[in-house]
Amino acid sequence: MIKLLHGDCLERLTEIPDGSVHMVLTDPPYSSGGLFAGDRKRDTRVKYIGNEFNGAARFRSFSGDNMDQRSFTEFLRMVLFKCRQKTVPGGICGVFIDWRNLPAVTDALQAAGWVWRGIVVWNKGVSRPVLGRYRNDCEFFPWATNGPREAAPVDSCSILPGFYNVPSVTTGRRHHQTEKPVPLLERLIELCPAGSTVLDPFMGSGSTGVACAKTGRDFVGIELDVGYYDTARLRIEGVENAAGGGTAQMSLFAPPDKPGEAEN
């Protein structure tokens, strides 16, 4: 079953039953893209899209990406606290982030009551080259559990890698400025058995939902921007229709409050 919600995740998380989610997998706005306040306040088209990648600048900028580290940590703590209430005991939470705000995410996870378990590394194989520096080729996926987690095999896979070499989504195939590749997401949700539920409170263009639809997992996604909400809906509907699901499995979609109108 697929359920998509349009709006502020802190508000719409209240509509999800407590203890109904098995994994939280999300890619929030990083509030990064610079070491100084002036850098962070820039439009996301400028922060995350270099001149050589102008094709991705065709996508809508997204909000919530202009906080300093202290505000970002507190905001994410509030979201992850609510997510933990919705998660079963022993359930998993994983959050994508870059090197700049990696400490903020590990702090927010623990302050929200999750048990921090480690950091998965994603080698995306691309970064902005700067002379005289090491390349920032990797992004990170700190993960945690809702209390103790039994160390038992899940779907014949007892151990998953902590490092993934998966290419970034090419500019021409993207639906979002900072889109994560579906094959990577399919691997990460393998610790969540088929038939269980994955929650993404920062759904964006719906890549986590696509991965869930393709691998037989239920999905609950929340997105503030109506444009990206519509993109996610269409992408997931396409997977469901191709698999023979169609409208029956999409009946829990919550329509945008004001169709066609973007959030500021």
- Does this model's pTM top 0.75? My answer is yes
Strand partners, 222: 5
Q: With beta carbons less than 8 A apart as the criterion, state whether 145 and 91 touch.
A: yes
Question: What pLDDT does residue 251 have?
Answer: 43
Per-residue pLDDT of the chain (264 residues; tens, 9 = 90+): 999 999 999 999 999 999 999 999 999 998 875 555 555 555 545 555 554 444 555 555 555 567 888 999 999 999 999 999 999 999 999 999 999 899 999 999 999 999 999 999 999 987 777 889 898 899 999 999 999 998 766 555 568 999 999 987 766 677 657 789 999 999 999 998 889 999 999 999 999 999 999 999 999 999 999 998 999 999 999 998 887 755 434 445 555 554 434 333
Question: What pLDDT does residue 262 have?
Answer: 38
Domain ranges of the chain: 2-248
Whole-Å CA distances, 9 to 28, 137, 225, 261: 11, 30, 11, 18
CA proximity to 87, closest of 147, 2, 155, 3: 147
Amino acid symbol at 88: V
* Domain 2-248 CATH superfamily: Vaccinia Virus protein VP39 (3.40.50.150)
CA proximity to 156, closest of 194, 101, 106, 128: 194
Question: What pLDDT does residue 67 have?
Answer: 80
Question: What pLDDT does residue 154 have?
Answer: 59
Question: What pLDDT does residue 155 have?
Answer: 58
| Dist. CA 112–CA 12, nearest whole Å | 18
| Dist. CA 65–CA 46, nearest whole Å | 12
For the beta sheet containing 138-145, the strands, ordered from the edge strand earlier in sequence to the opposite edge, are 2-6, 218-223, 197-200, 21-26, 87-95, 138-145, 115-123, 163-165
Q: With beta carbons less than 8 A apart as the criterion, state whether 209 and 215 touch.
A: no
- List Cβ neighbours of 254 (8 Å cut-off, separation of 6 or more): 3, 4, 5, 6
Q: With beta carbons less than 8 A apart as the criterion, state whether 36 and 69 touch.
A: no
